[in-house]
């Protein structure tokens, strides 16, 4: 009986030790192809958040984004040729982030508009298909509603931005 108890404790200890051992599995799998344009557009959302937290350093953050991502949205054109869902969603999430941060800091309206003009670009039917824009509108919806619930007084500014970047009035969302 004593042997069985000692044997059980030793086996349990060995099982615990082997369970804690890290094992690395290297698989020979091709990485999934993504869209670098969508990834770059998505990184504009944190730019709005960072500027809202440290508005006095906005120029520094914009310069960093220009160096790291792209200096002008036209470098990414055309958008609607492929990866429409990814690019539309990234564009909408960035616009939604701008709405949310504007509600938190309405004094930064001009700064946010300038950043959006540079990194997102206004709606242009020549480069943004109706389908891509529909994805962008859908992705921006949460940001728009969050901004309106936080700061209803900025509804006219939000509507102006929605018309400029999404080609839609927030009243029709």
Task: Determine, yes or no, domain membership for 82.
Answer: yes
| Cα–Cα distance for residue pair 55/101, rounded to 1 Å | 11
Task: Determine, yes or no, domain membership for 81.
Answer: yes
Task: Determine, yes or no, domain membership for 7.
Answer: no
Average pLDDT over residues 92-100: 97
Burial of 8 (0-12, 13-18, 19+ CB in 10 A): exposed
Residue 88 pLDDT exceeds 60: yes
| Cα–Cα distance for residue pair 40/79, rounded to 1 Å | 12
Task: Determine, yes or no, domain membership for 10.
Answer: no
Do 154 and 102 meet the contact criterion of CB atoms below 8 Å apart? yes
3-state DSSP assignment of residue 158: helix
Task: Determine, yes or no, domain membership for 22.
Answer: no
Which residues constitute the domain of residue 160?
34-172
Q: What pTM was estimated for this model as a whole?
A: 0.79
How many domains is the chain partitioned into structurally?
Answer: 1
Name the average pLDDT for the chain: 86
The one-character DSSP state at 128 is: S
Residue 117 pLDDT exceeds 80: yes
What's the confidence (pLDDT) of residue 5?
Answer: 66
Task: Determine, yes or no, domain membership for 20.
Answer: no
Cα-based distances in Å from 75 to 66, 71, 134, 172: 11, 8, 22, 31
Average pLDDT over residues 136-148: 95
Residue % of the chain over a pLDDT of 70: 79
Q: What is the dihedral of CA 134, 140, 141, 145, to 10 degrees?
A: -160
Find tokens 């919806």 and name the residue.
Answer: 141
Could you report the per-residue pLDDT of 103-114, keeping only the tens digit for each?
Answer: 999 999 999 999
Residue % of the chain over a pLDDT of 90: 72
| Cβ contacts of 125 within 8 Å, gap of 6 or more | 167
Residue 39 pLDDT exceeds 80: yes
């Amino acid at each position: 009986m004593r042997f069985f108890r000692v044997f059980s404790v030793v086996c349990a200890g060995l099982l615990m030790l082997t369970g804690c051992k890290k094992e690395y599995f290297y698989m020979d799998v091709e990485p999934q192809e993504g869209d670098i344009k969508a990834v770059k557009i998505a990184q504009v959302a944190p730019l709005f958040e960072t500027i809202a937290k440290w508005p006095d350093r906005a120029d520094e953050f914009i310069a960093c984004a220009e160096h790291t991502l792209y200096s002008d949205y036209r470098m990414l054109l055309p958008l609607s040729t492929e990866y429409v869902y990814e690019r539309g969603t990234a564009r909408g999430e960035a616009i939604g982030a701008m709405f949310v941060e504007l509600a938190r800091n309405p004094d930064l309206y001009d700064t946010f508009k300038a950043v959006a003009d540079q990194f997102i670009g206004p709606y242009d039917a020549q480069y943004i298909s109706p389908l891509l824009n529909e994805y962008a509108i859908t992705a921006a919806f949460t940001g728009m509603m969050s901004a309106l619930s936080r700061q209803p007084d900025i509804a006219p500014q939000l509507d102006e931005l929605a018309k400029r970047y999404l080609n839609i009035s927030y009243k029709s969302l």
